[in-house]
Structure 1
Amino acid sequence: MAFQILRRNLFPATKPRPPSVSHFSSSPPSDQTPSQTNPLISDVVSIITNLRSKTRWSYLRSLYPHGFDSNDFSQIALHIKNNPRLALRFFLWTQHKSLCNHNLQSHSTIIHILARGRLRSQAYDLIRTAIRVSESESIGSHESKPLKVFESLVKTYRQCDSAPFVFDLLIKACLESKKIDPAIQIVRMLLSRGISPGLSTCNALIRLLSQRRGAYAGYEIYREIFGLDCEVLEHNVKRVARISPNVETFNALMLGFYRDGLVEKVKEIWDQMADLNCCPNGYSYSILMAAYCEQEKMNEAEEVWEEMRAKGLEPDVVAYNTMIGGFCRVGEIEMAEEFSKEMGLSGIESTDATYEHLITGYCKMGNLDAAMLLYKDMLRKDFRPEGSTMDSLIRGLCDESRVLEAFEVMRGAVVHFGFCPTEKSYEFLIRGLCEEEKLEEALKLQAEMVGKGFKPNSEIYSAFISGYMKQGNKEVAERLRNEMLDTRNGN
């Protein structure tokens, strides 16, 4: 339904012209004056435009106590469209005083007038309101609310001599409310007539689609928007691309593939960016370095780092943290420290991620003293480590037979910054306590663990069995072994 209206209202059956955004600029003759219209409309227009703001509204209220219908409002607003702020005040006054039962048509009229006057934020707010209004007008209809608004905006577009970005605002409203399918449909209907939404709007759609439905979904809509797959879309209407992807487009694609673990695709997108002569920015390099770090290809990551510096791009905290994390991952803690020192000398402050990478790296290398120094420094700077970092620290201390110290670290984290111990943290501590034959303390901790909703697993059972065997208490150990087997069998 909306597609036919789009063709009829935006692109009437006249002599064909090349697809262009300029199609939106056509408008009917505007030489009609209020005197040639309904007397009510001409009177209201005269009052609004000629009386002072302090008296016009009360005077209108006295003359028209029952207000106006939505069509009258639209006609009045059109006569004052060259003063969009005044038109908006009239709309808000009728809304606040309940003098007009505004529908999609009247909302569309004022939205177009605001867009025409480049009042973007006000137009956007009313689009969001219009989507809610469409709900009451869509009872029994299977068409989505945003598409009803799109249909109404198309119908009133030419009459209001609006601006093309009004449809970008509608798409933005869809994306912010996570209404992905209507956003895609609107984009496709615009593209089918050779009209591209704004580049930032297209990038926002690609980002959200990649986050919600996976990187390949974002990549597919990217290829569709920029005309990389075919020359002809639905209804055999030729499409001419109006825009080209920019670095933010490629960053959104690379980030989507990186988050999905498809690091090889990150390099493919990087190569496509080069093919289109699009220059990467610092964030682009950070994503590519992160992909190489994920694969533990630190030589390649360093090459990207050097290329970035050679291009005159100064690394930011994201780039430094990426390299620090990569070197910690492969156990090259000295290189990670070098990058950390260089970051400080560059005047870039360490973040919680910097500390977490280094703490995890030192734990991996078995240098728990260095890890603890960093952890204490991290707390002094009021950073809060992630659960995975706490797990690494607790496990490292337990592996070094520093179980009581690990227990104090966990308890201190709970008290000082509300740390919620993970199942792994409990498991490491219980295993360490059992190895030191501190079974009473281990049982208390296991009871606390159950109270937090964690069920004993085979690791916990094995730790207690080993602890009781060390004490020579074979009877309890055998009972626990049987209980573990029953638990595994679901008894």
Structure 2
Amino acid sequence: MSRWNVLRSLCPNGIDPTQFSQITLQLNNNPHLALRFFNWTQSNSICNHTLSSYSTIIHLFARARLYKHAYRTIRIAVRTSQYDEQHCRFDSPPLNLFHTLVKTYQRCGSSPFVFDLLIKACFESRKLDPSIQIVRMLLSRGISPKVTTLNSLIFRVCKSRGFDAGYAIYREVFQLDEPKSEILKRGSGFKVNPNVHTYNELMLCCYQDALFEKVGEIWNQMVCARNAYSYALMMASLCDEGRVEDAEKLWEEMRNEGIEPDVVSYNTMIGGFCKIGDVGRAEEFYREMTSSGIETTASTYDHLVNGYCNIGDVDSALLVYKDMYRKDLCPGASTLDAMTRLLCDKGRAKEALQLVRKAIGKFGMVPKGNSYEALIKGLCAEGRMEEAFKVQAEMVGKGFQPNSEIYGAFIDGHVREGNEELAGALRKEMLQTQI
């Protein structure tokens, strides 16, 4: 008979949560045995666990750095806490578990990281308000979560409630507006400082919301060493404002600081120069990028193709696009659209159609409505009416309805072929559909 069966025979009616906690505390120096004991009580329904017993084993796991098991048990405890009326003081399950973890913390000789795991569980469950409350209660007790946890909180607040809300949380959790005397009262070493990732998260949120001025404000607030991503975000902000020369100065500063540019940095500068029509300078960055051994991405090629399309250089755009296609890099929908429209504008609609067909076949892309319109107008202009009709049927199948431009292209095409009857019928149809 195994020792587990022996133990079960000694406890025919199971054990209560208090007994479980007492036994677990005796296993503090043998966390793996405690884990097997906990799993045994679960799989055999030996103990009807409460938040208190869950907290004991969670603390033991955290102390032993068995973080995966601690996190999994936290998730279980949060889900089942609604049935533990004795320990449910709050309406929020995570807050109930937090309260119990605090009460049992000293007795179990736990690790502060247990609270980071609880906050992470809140993030995963999309419970933002409880995570904010937990951080505030920890700070009031002189305990700070890890900076990575605080960064995640700031980012989530920014994403769900906007930059201003996220920035307010940033200043609160890092106690930037609190007098130093108040912080010192809680004990030395308590205050956690923001790191480069904190600032990067804030700049990213600003950039995604097109708050370019605020990107610069955060940049100027940085009191730690910047990394390549910091520079990439600031350069991207400047490029989007059309200040590519200022972005290039920042690039030189980055190199002078001994920071090696990464793929994001190169793509940022390539995209910036392409937007202002200086594709030659963008190509210089591209060649430097490849000679440095940095792998190009779909974004690299998207920038270059769109850059050449913007200046009307169809052959160079096509050359870069074909290189992208050979490397199995999927173009963006806007890139495919730009190539399609440029080829059609240059009287190369058949070539544009082949390009679109290959993109659909290889990458499963769905062309934009503008792409279909350009193809139909181009094919009609070249007298390829049957192919134009096939494209129009495909367009309707994708949910795009013909507009007056498309009707006009078909009408003009039929007129050029001398088919006035079909042209007249289309005119009537166009009027009936009120296009």
* Higher relative contact order (Cα pairs below 8 Å, separated by 6+ residues): 1
Specify the alignment match of 1:164 in structure 2: 112
How far apart are 1:480 and its partner, in Å? 4.2
Specify the alignment match of 2:340 in structure 1: 394
Specify the alignment match of 1:425 in structure 2: 371
Specify the alignment match of 1:482 in structure 2: 431
1:311 paired to 2:257 = yes
Report Cα offsets for 1:180-233 as digits up to 9, x if no partner: 12111111121233322111100111122222332222212101111234559x
Other structure's SS at 2:260 match: coil
- 1:48-447 matched pairs, under 5 angstroms: 55-137=2-84, 143-230=91-178, 242-273=191-222, 277-447=223-393
Q: Would the alpha carbon gap of residues 478 and 125 (structure 1) be closer, same or farther in structure 2, given more than 3 Å must change?
A: same
2:414 and 2:134 map into 1 onto residues whose CA distance is: 68
Other structure's SS at 1:129 match: helix
1:265 and 1:466 map into 2 onto residues whose CA distance is: 52
The answer for unaligned runs of 5 or more in structure 2 is none
1:447 and 1:137 map into 2 onto residues whose CA distance is: 62
- The code of the aligned residue for 2:279 comes to I
Q: Would the alpha carbon gap of residues 151 and 319 (structure 1) be closer, same or farther in structure 2, given more than 3 Å must change?
A: same
1:135 and 1:483 map into 2 onto residues whose CA distance is: 62
Other structure's SS at 2:432 match: helix
2:356 and 2:282 map into 1 onto residues whose CA distance is: 26
Contact 2:31 2:61 in 1 (8 A): yes
Q: Which moved more, 1:367-376 or 1:465-474?
A: 465-474
2:220 and 2:208 map into 1 onto residues whose CA distance is: 19
Other structure's SS at 1:455 match: coil
Report Cα offsets for 1:421-462 as digits up to 9, x if no partner: 222221221222233343443233222211112223344344
How far apart are 1:144 and its partner, in Å? 2.2
Q: Which moved more, 1:58-67 or 1:473-482?
A: 473-482
Contact 2:196 2:226 in 1 (8 A): yes
TM-score normalised by L of structure 2: 0.91
Report Cα offsets for 1:108-146 as digits up to 9, x if no partner: 110011122232222112112212222444799971222
Other structure's SS at 1:284 match: helix
- The code of the aligned residue for 1:256 comes to C
How far apart are 1:404 and its partner, in Å? 0.7
- The code of the aligned residue for 1:339 comes to F
Other structure's SS at 1:228 match: coil
Contact 1:358 1:371 in 2 (8 A): yes
Report Cα offsets for 1:270-321 as digits up to 9, x if no partner: 0011xxx311111100100110111111110001000000001111111111
Contact 2:239 2:272 in 1 (8 A): yes
2:156 and 2:213 map into 1 onto residues whose CA distance is: 21
TM-score normalised by L of structure 1: 0.81
Contact 2:90 2:96 in 1 (8 A): no
- The code of the aligned residue for 2:202 comes to L
Contact 2:89 2:96 in 1 (8 A): no
Q: Would the alpha carbon gap of residues 144 and 435 (structure 1) be closer, same or farther in structure 2, given more than 3 Å must change?
A: farther
Q: Which moved more, 1:129-138 or 1:410-419?
A: 129-138
- The code of the aligned residue for 2:424 comes to E
How far apart are 1:171 and its partner, in Å? 0.5
Q: Would the alpha carbon gap of residues 393 and 136 (structure 1) be closer, same or farther in structure 2, given more than 3 Å must change?
A: farther
- The code of the aligned residue for 2:55 comes to S
Identity of aligned residues (%): 55
2:351 and 2:31 map into 1 onto residues whose CA distance is: 68
1:255 and 1:230 map into 2 onto residues whose CA distance is: 26
Other structure's SS at 1:349 match: coil
Specify the alignment match of 1:46 in structure 2: none
- The code of the aligned residue for 2:206 comes to F
1:66 and 1:399 map into 2 onto residues whose CA distance is: 83
How far apart are 1:62 and its partner, in Å? 2.4
- The code of the aligned residue for 1:263 comes to F
1:465 and 1:215 map into 2 onto residues whose CA distance is: 51
Q: Would the alpha carbon gap of residues 138 and 253 (structure 1) be closer, same or farther in structure 2, given more than 3 Å must change?
A: farther
Q: Would the alpha carbon gap of residues 395 and 239 (structure 1) be closer, same or farther in structure 2, given more than 3 Å must change?
A: farther
- The code of the aligned residue for 2:194 comes to P
1:215 and 1:392 map into 2 onto residues whose CA distance is: 33
Report Cα offsets for 1:13-51 as digits up to 9, x if no partner: xxxxxxxxxxxxxxxxxxxxxxxxxxxxxxxxxxxxxxx
Contact 1:231 1:239 in 2 (8 A): no
Contact 1:469 1:477 in 2 (8 A): no
2:217 and 2:198 map into 1 onto residues whose CA distance is: 14
Report Cα offsets for 1:403-434 as digits up to 9, x if no partner: 11111111111112212222222122122223
Specify the alignment match of 1:28 in structure 2: none
1:154 and 1:460 map into 2 onto residues whose CA distance is: 69
1:169 and 1:209 map into 2 onto residues whose CA distance is: 18
2:35 and 2:119 map into 1 onto residues whose CA distance is: 22
